[in-house]
């Protein structure tokens, strides 16, 4: 009799545990996604596809598998990749975005930012006019629109501080206008901003963050504050603000600065996106060069070049953003 009771208790506990996990969301695998074409997925941005009722993840795709070219040419010359997911946890490759702007024979697309406003999708995208072995070449930010997230119409080239700008991030301000943050590479890789009343016409601003070099700014509102996360190549730096003008750097270290223990997560976290849900949870999507971890000296060129996408959930402890990349991430993006 006692054995039967114990068995029933175990079944009950297992059922409750499963329901609890299901209520938290779907457990995400590690890695979250690897690009099957070039294996160089980076710089993710995630958005809901209204018509298909799926999540789309746009990403920079580097030619990691090409180990014969010199310099940094392998991070040039590719289109923007798209992965899709019904639950935000399990992703599969969909296609490349059909970008209606290819004026140069050899062209490069980097770091897309995609937003949905009044039934139209807007993409702000870094464009490099060629394939180069070094970083000493122009880069501009272009604006595109789409009705289906697959085919993109060129709208304009933004007139910003110079033609060495990358990594746009766009957020709506409380007054209904828009602000874009981007990286000005000529000014010690400081973060600058521009303003727009309508997403089409932009007026350049000035420096927003310049206490240290960084790129890939991501700005979002969560738990009563505005946050900016930047990629500083030693993990992700965190800033907070009450007005999106004056930013204070979070002390105590960068996010994802310590390599993780999960599959393909054993190096610093790079360029991220953040999705805040209606339930008040915040998910950090980031990329990793797994081969650049502690054992980097023993791996070949391909392993050092390839990259994987990962996810972790943000938490707030004592007013500071934090995350534990080694915990199972239960994704609930409904």
Domains in the chain, please, with CATH?
Answer: 28-331 (2.115.10.20)
Cis amide prior to 31 (ω within 30 degrees): yes
DSSP for 36-68, please give it: TTTSBEEEEEEEEETTTTEEEEEEEE--TT--S
Contact at 8 Å (CB) between 256 and 325?
yes
The pLDDT value given to residue 18: 44
The pLDDT value given to residue 60: 98
Answer positive or negative: Cα dihedral of 98, 99, 105, 110. negative
The pLDDT value given to residue 65: 97
Contact at 8 Å (CB) between 255 and 270?
no
* DSSP code, position 255: B
The pLDDT value given to residue 205: 87
Tell me, yes or no, if the pTM score tops 0.85: yes
CA distances, 317 to each of 81, 238, 255 (Å): 35, 14, 13
Residue of 187, 133, 144 lying closest to 164 (CA atoms) = 187
The pLDDT value given to residue 7: 44
Residue 174: strand, helix, or coil = coil
Distance CA 252, CA 27 (A): 29
CA distances, 305 to each of 78, 130, 262, 296 (Å): 14, 20, 19, 11
The pLDDT value given to residue 297: 72
Contact at 8 Å (CB) between 316 and 334?
no
Residue 22: strand, helix, or coil = helix
Distance CA 296, CA 266 (A): 10
CA distances, 26 to each of 86, 89, 106, 263, 282 (Å): 11, 6, 41, 18, 15
The residue assigned the tokens 């209520």 is 23
Distance CA 27, CA 4 (A): 32
Contact at 8 Å (CB) between 161 and 143?
no
* DSSP code, position 251: P
The pLDDT value given to residue 334: 81
Residue 2: strand, helix, or coil = helix
Distance CA 318, CA 295 (A): 35
User: Can you give the pLDDT of all 334 residues of the chain as single tens digits?
Assistant: 545 444 444 444 444 344 444 579 999 999 999 999 999 999 999 999 999 999 999 999 999 999 999 999 999 999 999 999 999 999 999 999 999 999 998 899 999 999 999 999 999 999 999 999 999 999 999 999 999 999 999 999 999 999 999 999 999 999 999 999 999 999 999 999 999 999 999 999 899 999 999 999 999 999 999 999 999 999 999 999 999 999 999 999 999 999 999 999 999 999 999 999 999 999 999 999 999 988 767 789 999 999 999 999 999 999 999 999 999 999 999 8
The pLDDT value given to residue 204: 95
CB within 8 Å of 236: residues ≥ 6 apart: 229, 230, 254, 255, 256, 257, 269, 270, 272, 286
Distance CA 213, CA 192 (A): 12
């Amino acid at each position: 009799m006692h054995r039967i009771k114990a068995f029933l208790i175990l079944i009950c506990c297992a059922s409750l545990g499963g329901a609890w996990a299901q209520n938290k969301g779907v457990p995400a695998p590690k890695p979250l996604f690897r690009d099957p074409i070039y294996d160089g997925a980076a710089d993710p941005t995630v958005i809901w596809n209204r018509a298909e009722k799926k999540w789309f993840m746009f990403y920079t795709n580097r030619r990691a598998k090409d180990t014969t070219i010199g310099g940094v040419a392998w991070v040039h010359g590719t289109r923007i990749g798209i992965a899709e997911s019904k639950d935000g946890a399990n992703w599969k490759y969909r296609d490349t975005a059909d970008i209606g702007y290819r004026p140069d024979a050899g062209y490069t697309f980097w770091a897309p930012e995609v937003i949905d406003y009044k039934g139209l999708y807007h993409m702000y995208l870094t464009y490099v006019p060629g394939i180069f072995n070094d970083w000493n070449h122009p880069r501009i930010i272009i604006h595109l629109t789409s009705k289906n997230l697959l085919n993109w119409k060129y709208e304009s080239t933004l007139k910003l501080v110079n033609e060495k700008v990358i990594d746009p991030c766009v957020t709506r301000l409380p007054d209904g206008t828009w602000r874009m943050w981007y990286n000005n590479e000529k000014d010690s890789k400081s973060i600058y901003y521009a303003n727009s009343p309508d997403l089409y016409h932009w007026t350049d601003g000035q420096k927003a963050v310049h206490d240290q070099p960084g790129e890939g700014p991501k700005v979002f509102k969560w738990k009563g504050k505005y946050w900016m996360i930047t990629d500083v190549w030693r993990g992700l730096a965190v800033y907070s603000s009450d007005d999106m003008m004056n930013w204070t750097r979070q002390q105590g270290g960068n996010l994802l600065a310590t390599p993780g223990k999960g599959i393909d997560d054993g190096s610093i976290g790079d360029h991220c996106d953040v999705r805040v849900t209606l339930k008040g949870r915040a998910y950090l999507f980031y990329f990793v060069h797994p081969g650049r971890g502690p054992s980097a000296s023993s791996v070949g060129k391909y392993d050092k070049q390839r990259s994987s996408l990962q996810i972790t959930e943000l938490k707030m402890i004592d007013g500071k953003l934090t995350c534990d990349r080694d915990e199972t991430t239960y994704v609930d993006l409904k």
